[in-house]
Amino acid sequence: DTAVSQTPKYLVTQMGNDKSIKCEQNLGHDTMYWYKQDSKKFLKIMFSYNNKELIINETVPNRFSPKSPDKAHLNLHINSLELGDSAVYFCASSSLGLPIYNEQFFGPGTRLTVL
Amino acid sequence: AQTVTQSQPEMSVQEAETVTLSCTYDTSESNYYLFWYKQPPSRQMILVIRQEAYKQQNATENRFSVNFQKAAKSFSLKISDSQLGDTAMYFCAFMKQNTDKLIFGTGTRLQVFP
């Protein structure tokens, strides 16, 4: 059983296109995240959603728009793709039980290549 | 702002030997969590070990253990009896208590040789 899944795993597209990456979790978690890992392997959080509400919104171009249709899904839509958007995008989920820490489970990643 | 520094871009170790990966962090917080994540060539991010800052005892998980020095803001990972499957990128990460925002270091690439 896949806990956190992402589709597609690989995405190759042209500059200027609009694309979406889908994420689904079957762990019953209430919080989902998007991370970006650049070509130097640096991993940084982009967004987090709790119960379909935006919680964390890092300094990310507004061409990136997360959409959460329900607690189990958090999709990432990217408009007007640029070369610098090429990266691996990871989805993750957790049960937000603050102040107690709950592990974040990561998806397999989506490698986006913008030509 | 919190920062996490991993000063070793690459490390190598022979199978069955022990290796230590370094991590330092900067924070003014007193309550936080520290983590080591493993990213093998498959790209999957896997949590290796976690340490709560309020705990003085170092965390251990089988062959993996940490040396947590709160005053020095140091959090190293020791891998004992290294195995070929330990070959991966290792990321140190920080999370302030009462948040769920993970802050990662730049990673250390570990190669285990037979």
Three-state DSSP string of chain A: CCCEEEECCEEEECCCCCEEEEEEECCCCCEEEEEEECCCCCEEEEEEEECCEEEEECCCCCCEEEEEEECCEEEEEECCCCHHHCEEEEEEEECCCCCCCCCCEECCCEEEEEC
- Mean predicted confidence (pLDDT) in A66-83: 93
Size of interface A-B (CB pairs under 8 A): 55
Q: How large is the average pLDDT for residues A36-41?
A: 92
Percent of chain A predicted with pLDDT > 90? 64
Mean per-residue pLDDT of chain A: 91
CB-CB under 8 Å, B106 with A108? no
Contact A98 B100 (CB under 8 A): yes
In the three-class reduction of DSSP (H, G, I as helix; E, B as strand; rest coil), residue B48 is classed as strand
For residue A35, the chain B residue with the least C-alpha distance is B102
What residues of chain B score a pLDDT lower than 50? none
Residue A98 has pLDDT above 80, yes or no: no
Helix, strand or coil for residue B84? Answer: helix
> Is A45's CB within 8 Å of B102's CB?
yes
B106 near A CB under 8 A: yes
